[in-house]
A and B are shown apart, each in its own frame.
Chain A
Amino acid sequence: MLLTLALPRINEHMTTAKVTKVYVAEGDALVPGAKLVDLRVDLSAVLSHDCPPVSYYRIAMRDVARLRQLAIAPGDLLAIGAPIALFSTEAEEPMDAEPARPVRITLAGIVPPDEWWEGNAR
């Protein structure tokens, strides 16, 4: 069974999210609790003000599955619904079938890094 992961709408005002970290590689066997990706959501484009509404999130697995295709890399800017990854429940499962459903994930807000100190400021 193939499982998909696309960028969810985390906030009603968001249009995109930036990939800040990727914790997995194609071929990894993943279990519930495995970290997948960290995202930065900046609402400045739609809610512009001095104190920027920037939040950070982590997506983690809630299914047992093998990562078969990874469509993202750190720094990528994703639109809502953009494909992030494709999983299969069996290791050698053919990739030409229709995905059965979205993979089950956990989504949580994470403590923001000090972007400017780390040299990643806008």
Chain B
Amino acid sequence: MTSIPLRLGTLGAYGFAVQRSGIRWLCDEGHDCRPGEVIAYCNIGLVPSGRSIRAWDPFVDEQRDFQVAFAPRIAGRLRKAADSSRGGFLDLQQFYQHWSHDYIIGHLEAPTGDRVADDGTDSLRLLFVAGRRTTELAEVRSGLLTGWHDRSRAWWGDGDDAPGTVLSMGICELAGVIRGERSAFLELFAAVPGPAHAIYNADDALVPCARVALEQMHRTTAEFDAIAADFAKTFASGSVIPSPGDWMFGAALLSALRHSPLTATHDTLTRTGLRRNLPVDAVILSLHAEPTVVLRHRRLGYAVNCHGFRIAQAGPGVREWLHTQFEPVSRTPDDIRCDLRELIDTVRARGDMRVLILNSMSTSGFEDVYTYAPFDRPMRDTLSSVRSKEMNLMLHDLARERDVSIVDVDTIAAELGAAAHLPDGVHASGPLQAEVREEILRLLAGHRVPGFFRAPVR
């Protein structure tokens, strides 16, 4: 047996020093680690070193929820360094220690001859995670990538190549697929060779249907300012005094309207330094984010799409504001197809971007439709299964005309068994999420999105 030191290794960026918290362990002393298993993490921060004039602030929206997780490259039994974790605030905040490349967080007892260098310089892979808080009030330092984030992301910190970037813009059916069951992208990144970069756009306040995403791309600063000014003027002007919950929902909605996930660029930090302005290489959309009705602002004309249950939970102020300031606009599958087509053309006019769209689950274990007479026309407005099938057909046509990859959730759910894997009729089981994740990764690999496919060995 050999004792392999788990050394932090090089991490730095020109003009900045890296600082960190103490190490927070995700497993016990003596744990048998698998290669690539995330076993610990710490918070990190970049501090200007004074060696250069700073032209930009990396991670400007993510500085408080910026972490790096550690994954040993080889298997072995873990022995933690006694001074790795310091407890209390020293493990929560990133300002208490400098990142020292030769610091050893622990050792692995591994069979002699395993491939990492005995001095441990290459023993740890780094998985970076960063969250943009919906509000700075949402400070939750309880774990890895915890908190209320309107955008979260992760990337492997190895290699010199620019990572491929995949953006997820769906609803609850994509949360478990992309963020995973441990909510820090761990299952996704365990399955990709890297360097890869994944972004999860939250749907808490604003659900990213094609119409909303398109307007976010086109919205100017002046237009957003007009929306914000109108919000300030009208939100509390009705007969209902908004509750704290109303205000929080309204502010989160306003914040979401300000961002455009599809045009944003992103900074990453890796062992070789900082990289900025990474574009999105592939986007994952979902038909489940496309509602039959969006709300259109009566005066300013912008669209919002919110989960009904969020509106119901937010409070009476939000409901009154939406009722008085917005009008419902129905959308047929053809309307949605036009929105998706326009969105795809717009993103591709800015650069090459692969588009994946999850189709709709149209099967269930209970239906026994014997005649369509009890269901009003158009049947898609009444029968969920017919609507799903019409939407899937629409997506099929769109895929052919705009080179879109369909993530065939409908077939995956049917093969696994919708009754067993959608036990509440709405939300997917772990195995179903894993199958959908695998299908997405297969499609990304087929498109050769960097980091998401394994290059053939020469």
Contacts and interface: CB of A to CB of B under 8 A. Distances in A.
A51 B308 contact: no
B424 A13 contact: yes
B366 A10 contact: yes
B308 A33 contact: no
A56 to B, nearest CB: 8
A53 to B, nearest CB: 3
Contacts of B423: 11-13, 47
A51 B371 contact: no
Nearest to A32: B371
A13 B420 CA distance: 12
Contact of A53 (B307, B385, B425): B425
B371 A109 contact: no
B323 to A, nearest CB: 7
Interface residues of B, number: 35
Contacts of A62: 370-371
Nearest to B293: A114
A86 to B, nearest CB: 20
Interface stretch (B105-113, B185-193, B375-383): B375-383
B366 to A, nearest CB: 6
Contacts of A107: 366-368
Interface string A50-78: 11111110101110000000000000000
A114 B424 CA distance: 20
Nearest to B366: A10
Contacts, number: 103
Contacts of B382: 58, 110-111
A50 B374 contact: no
B369 A108 contact: yes
Contacts of A11: 366, 423-425
A75 B328 CA distance: 25
B219 interface: no
Contacts of B380: 111
B172 interface: yes
Contact of B385 (A13, A109, A122): A109
Contacts of B427: 49, 51, 53
Q: Secondary structure at chain A's binding surface: helix, strand, loop or mixed? A: loop
Interface in B366-418: 366-375, 380-385, 387
Interface in A61-115: 61-62, 106-112, 114-115
Interface in A28-52: 32-35, 41, 43, 47, 49-52
Interface string B334-378: 000000000000000000000000000000101111111111000
B374 A122 contact: no
A58 B374 contact: yes
A114 B425 CA distance: 18
Contacts of B308: 112, 114-117, 121
Interface of A: 10-13, 32-35, 41, 43, 47, 49-56, 58, 60-62, 106-112, 114-117, 121-122
Q: In the A-B complex, list the 4 residue pairs whose CB atoms are closest, starting with the nearest.
A: A33-B373, A60-B374, A53-B424, A121-B312
21 contacts: A11-B366, A32-B371, A33-B371, A34-B374, A51-B307, A51-B426, A53-B426, A55-B426, A56-B384, A58-B374, A62-B370, A62-B371, A106-B374, A108-B374, A109-B364, A109-B425, A110-B382, A110-B383, A117-B308, A117-B322, A121-B319
